[in-house]
Structure 1
């Protein structure tokens, strides 16, 4: 079987992709509700509610656990990877987003006093623990529905 048909028919990949896709669609919907404007960039942008990274990795690891068993070595690898991704999303990437907000404020302040050509940094990079948790739950639900 060739690569693309193989991936497309892989049930674990399908669960991960659907989990990610639903999370991204939810971001567009929630942005539409809160900002009252359609922002399709949210389909590919990072950050926001729910965490699509968390949804993707927890959907995948839950699907593996359901399919191969909770004592499977592959499930252990998937779960540990999921925990690292979720820690990174709520820790390191969140801190980078906070730093970007502070740097953007410094740039704005400097710009008011003298010309400053630096573009603003992207602030919506990481996730709050709540966003990560919501994404993880979404992935678990999708895996349980699809497997």
Structure 2
């Protein structure tokens, strides 16, 4: 396959294979990299393997932000920023990042307060044996920012790989 054919296959909007869908691959890679960073940071800091870090929400960097930013950036790089697809991807990214650093962060704070109330209940209370709510649900604005930067960098690297392929 010559260089022009490879670029056309990897970057064509009408490409029929999901395995050469650059925006989708960028989003997936950004998610995997962000979750892997969480896993390895726990491993380095605490010297333990916590495989839940590969799928859990919350923490640094935001895999939500990395995923949607990589998607929006890849769509913008491939299709241009003036089209409807980029507008859809950008609005989706903004909503997800707002939700991750706003609503979900506050829900995590509420879970923390509710867990404290449950811990202080007398042992005979019906809710005293309740499993604690998950507290790490959202992200701080800084975690979202770092995730967004990570996603943009991954999309840019993917684009550079495609155009030099």
When the two structures are superposed, what TM-score results if normalisation uses the length of structure 2? 0.82
Question: How far off its partner does 1:36 sit?
Answer: 2.7
1:47 aligns with 2:47: no
Q: State the superposition RMSD in angstroms.
A: 1.1
CA distance in 2, matches of 1:89, 1:141: 20
1:82 aligns with 2:82: no
Question: How far off its partner does 1:30 sit?
Answer: 1.3
* 3-state secondary structure, aligned to 1:55: helix
1:23 aligns with 2:34: yes
Matches within 5 A, 1:9-20: 9-20=20-31
The counterpart of 2:123, out of the listed 110, 114, 117, is: 114
* 3-state secondary structure, aligned to 1:76: helix
Aligned residues: 141
Matches within 5 A, 1:116-131: 116-131=128-143
Question: How far off its partner does 1:9 sit?
Answer: 2.3
CA distance in 1, matches of 2:24, 2:66: 13
CA distance in 2, matches of 1:86, 1:126: 10
Aligned to 1:61: 72
* 3-state secondary structure, aligned to 1:80: helix
CA distance in 1, matches of 2:116, 2:44: 27
CA distance in 2, matches of 1:35, 1:129: 24
Q: Which runs of 4+ in 1 moved over 6 A?
A: none
When the two structures are superposed, what TM-score results if normalisation uses the length of structure 1? 0.92
The unaligned stretches of length 5 or more in structure 2 are: 1-15, 160-165
CA distance in 2, matches of 1:103, 1:35: 27
The unaligned stretches of length 5 or more in structure 1 are: none
